[in-house]
Structures are given as structure tokens and as C-alpha cells.
């Protein structure tokens, strides 16, 4: 004879507890999840916008820095020292050319006096900015022979100039360019005692202004070595980007400056950088000098506060669920206990 299967029925206590948990827990869970997700999405956007503003700020500072050096490199056109009168002559517009060509000097002292005047001018340029470590002018004299003048922060002694010519690729200088030229970070290994110093170089061609605009004769090129710490100071002033990978790129993607030394001078593919998993790429608008500031951010590091909030949220949610469940069980027992006892007594009365 088969035994009847005992039907499983939820008691009043279980039903009451289940109702409290479902009616209290589910809405709380949904509301909490929606609120936290909305808050975290907005928080993520705020962090992203903050990074973007920091990148734009760095890009703007670099642009302002280059604008300052752009102005300094134009100073040969405004140099009003007259070698003929050994005084300031505001009527002579091309004094610098006259010095380069040795015009107005006595033949027997021309070389010495021209060298002294050129070095004086280069020192004046260096005095305009603390970070200018050396100034150079390479050009041609009246006979077409190459002449050069060099001064540096520590004096006039240069260990060797070959590394300098190599760093600025002197053999391939575009003598027709009328814009400021930029050369990437390189060692100052042509100066005695500053081998480890890193600099970048700005340059500008100088022309004979007496000709027509379309046909101005090339006189020479002015070069200024700038301590790379100038750029570093601009980046370090923005604390938000201190630990991120920053690149200052030319239009063709060549890295002009970076806080990742191995990237300097390399051609970087921005598309592959932006597709790298776990990384976020932010960039400032391209400046008038063609350089672009790009920052590569590790999202795991950038959004670590958000991940911490997630953990805290779920921990608090778990504690809330446990507290609600414990409270539900406790109050269900309190409420259903008397009812259950009353029903049992009624059952006993019915059965006699």
C-alpha cells in the first residue's frame, strides 16, 4: 500500500517572512542599483572630463611656451645695435645682418669684434628665459663661407659640436622655412660638464630684409637649446596627470616630448594607442605650431575610486539584506507566534 506523499506547505511564519522580504527587499534592491549606477556613470563622466580639462590645460601651457620662444627667435629682426656707431641706432633695420657680414668693422679687428658682438647678442637672447641653456647662430658671410657662433649658460667652451649638428640635422636644414622649427629632446653632450642634461631645440631662419618678400636671401639660422625641465615643470604643475603617459606629437605622429623617454623621437600610431585594451586616450586640440598633446590613461587606475565605490555599495547592500532578513525573521516570529498558537487551539477545540 502506497503511502501518500506529504504535501509541502509553507507555514504562516514562512509566508509572512517571504512577503516582508519580497515587498521590502526587491524595491530596495532595484532602487539602490538604479541610483548607484546613475551616480557612478555621472562620476565616471566627471573624472573623464577632469582628465580632459587637465590635458587641454597642459596643451595650452605648451602652446604658450612655444609662443614665447617663437617671439624670442624673431629678435634678430629687431636688434638695433649699430656696429658702425657702437651705439643704439633705431634707424637701422638690419643691424644683425651687418654684424653677420662684418660690415662697419675695421678689417684688422673685424673677426674679433664680430665674434664679440654676436656672442653678446646670443647672451642677450639667453637672458630672456631661465631655461635657455645655449644659443647658436650658423650662417654664411659675404663670401658664402660658413660661420658659426655659440654661447652657453656655463661659458663659451663646447666639448664638441658634432652632436649638436646631428641633433638639429644641420645638413638638411630647410633654409626656405619662415616658421619656427622644433627639434626633439636630445642630450646636451656637446657641452663640457652637462653631458646628462636633456634639451630640446627651437630654431628660426634669418633673411636679408633688403630684398623682396618673394626673393629674400638666406643669412643663417638661429638655434636655442631649451632645458627639457621647462616642459616637465608644465606637466608636473598639473597633479592630475603626474602618473599618466603623456606625449607631445608632431602632425606626423613623431614624439617631440614624453615622460616616457623611450618614446621620444619615435613615430607613434594614435589609432593603435586608442584601441589598446584597458587604456583611454585623451588629446588636446592641435596647436598653431602643429604639436598635439596626447595622454594615455590606464582606466583601472583612473577609475579605481569607482571600483572602490562598487565594492562599498555591494557590501552595504549585503549588510542591508542581512539586516532586513534578520529583522523580518524576528518580527515574523513575534507576529505569527500568537496567531499560530490561536489556530492550534481552535483546531484542538474542533477535534474535541
Q: Could you state, in order of their start, the residue ranges of all structural domains in the chain?
A: 45-68+239-302, 73-232
pLDDT at residue 221, as a whole number: 95
pLDDT at residue 317, as a whole number: 76
Percent of the chain surpassing pLDDT 70: 77
Report the mean per-residue pLDDT for the chain: 79
The pLDDT confidence band at residue 157, using thresholds 50, 70 and 90, is low
Residues linked to residue 223 through DSSP beta bridges, in sequence order: 136, 203
Return the C-alpha torsion angle 247, 251, 254, 259, nearest 10. -10
pLDDT at residue 321, as a whole number: 74
DSSP characters over 157-188: --S-SHHHHHHTTGGG--TT--S-EEEEEEE-
Residue 85 has pLDDT above 60, yes or no: no
**CA dist list (Å): 294 to 274, 277, 283, 286, 287:** 10, 17, 4, 10, 12
Residue 189 has pLDDT above 70, yes or no: yes
pLDDT at residue 336, as a whole number: 64
314 in Cβ contact with 2 (< 8 Å): no
> Which range is least confidently modeled, 96-110, 215-229, 273-287?
273-287
Cα–Cα distance for residue pair 233/226, rounded to 1 Å: 13
Q: Does this model's pTM top 0.75?
A: no
Helix boundaries (H) for 168-303: 229-236, 270-274, 299-302
pLDDT at residue 195, as a whole number: 56
The pLDDT confidence band at residue 43, using thresholds 50, 70 and 90, is confident
pLDDT at residue 29, as a whole number: 76
**pLDDT tens sequence across 235-282:** 777 766 556 888 888 877 888 888 888 888 888 887 777 677 778 888
> Which range is least confidently modeled, 76-80, 147-151, 293-297?
76-80
From the number of C-beta atoms within 10 Å of its C-beta (0-12, 13-18, 19+), residue 204 rates as buried
Residue 220 has pLDDT above 50, yes or no: yes
Helix boundaries (H) for 134-291: 162-167, 229-236, 270-274
**CA dist list (Å): 124 to 96, 118, 348:** 13, 10, 113
Just give the CATH number of 73-232: 3.30.450
pLDDT at residue 97, as a whole number: 86
pLDDT at residue 129, as a whole number: 92
pLDDT at residue 249, as a whole number: 86
186 in Cβ contact with 167 (< 8 Å): yes
The pLDDT confidence band at residue 1, using thresholds 50, 70 and 90, is very low
Amino acid at each position: 500500500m502506497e503511502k501518500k506523499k506529504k504535501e509541502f506547505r509553507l507555514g504562516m511564519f514562512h509566508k509572512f517572512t517571504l512577503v516582508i522580504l519580497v515587498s521590502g527587499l526587491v524595491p530596495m534592491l532595484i532602487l539602490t542599483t538604479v541610483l548607484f549606477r546613475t551616480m557612478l556613470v555621472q562620476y565616471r563622466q566627471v573624472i573623464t572630463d577632469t582628465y580632459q580639462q587637465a590635458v587641454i590645460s597642459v596643451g595650452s601651457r605648451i602652446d604658450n611656451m612655444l609662443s614665447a620662444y617663437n617671439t624670442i627667435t624673431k629678435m634678430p629682426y629687431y636688434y638695433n645695435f649699430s656696429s658702425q656707431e657702437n651705439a643704439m641706432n633705431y634707424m637701422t633695420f638690419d643691424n644683425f645682418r651687418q654684424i653677420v657680414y662684418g660690415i662697419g668693422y675695421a678689417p684688422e679687428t673685424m673677426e674679433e669684434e664680430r665674434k664679440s658682438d654676436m656672442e653678446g647678442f646670443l647672451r642677450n637672447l639667453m637672458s630672456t628665459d631661465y631655461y635657455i641653456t645655449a644659443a647658436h647662430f650658423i650662417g654664411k658671410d659675404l663670401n658664402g663661407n660658413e660661420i658659426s657662433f655659440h654661447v652657453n649658460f656655463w661659458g663659451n667652451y663646447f666639448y664638441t659640436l658634432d652632436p649638436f649638428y646631428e641633433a638639429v640635422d644641420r645638413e638638411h636644414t630647410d633654409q626656405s622655412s619662415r616658421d619656427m622649427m622644433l627639434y626633439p629632446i636630445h642630450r646636451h653632450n656637446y657641452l663640457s660638464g652637462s653631458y646628462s642634461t636633456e634639451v630640446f631645440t627651437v630654431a628660426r631662419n634669418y633673411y636679408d630684409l633688403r630684398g623682396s618678400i618673394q626673393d629674400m636671401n638666406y643669412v643663417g639660422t638661429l638655434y636655442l637649446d631649451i632645458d627639457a625641465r621647462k616642459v616637465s615643470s608644465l606637466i608636473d604643475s598639473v597633479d592630475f596627470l603626474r602618473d599618466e603617459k603623456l606625449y607631445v606629437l608632431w602632425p606626423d605622429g613623431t614624439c617631440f616630448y614624453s615622460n616616457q623617454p623611450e618614446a621620444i623621437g619615435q613615430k607613434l600610431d594614435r589609432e593603435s594607442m586608442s584601441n589598446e585594451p584597458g587604456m583611454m586616450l585623451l588629446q588636446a586640440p592641435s596647436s598653431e605650431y602643429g604639436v598635439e598633446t596626447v595622454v594615455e590613461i590606464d582606466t583601472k587606475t583612473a577609475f579605481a575610486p569607482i571600483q572602490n565605490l562598487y565594492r562599498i555599495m555591494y557590501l552595504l547592500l549585503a549588510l542591508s539584506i542581512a539586516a532586513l532578513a534578520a529583522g523580518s525573521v524576528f518580527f515574523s516570529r513575534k507576529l505569527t507566534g500568537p496567531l499560530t498558537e490561536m489556530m492550534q487551539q481552535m483546531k484542538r477545540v474542533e477535534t474535541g
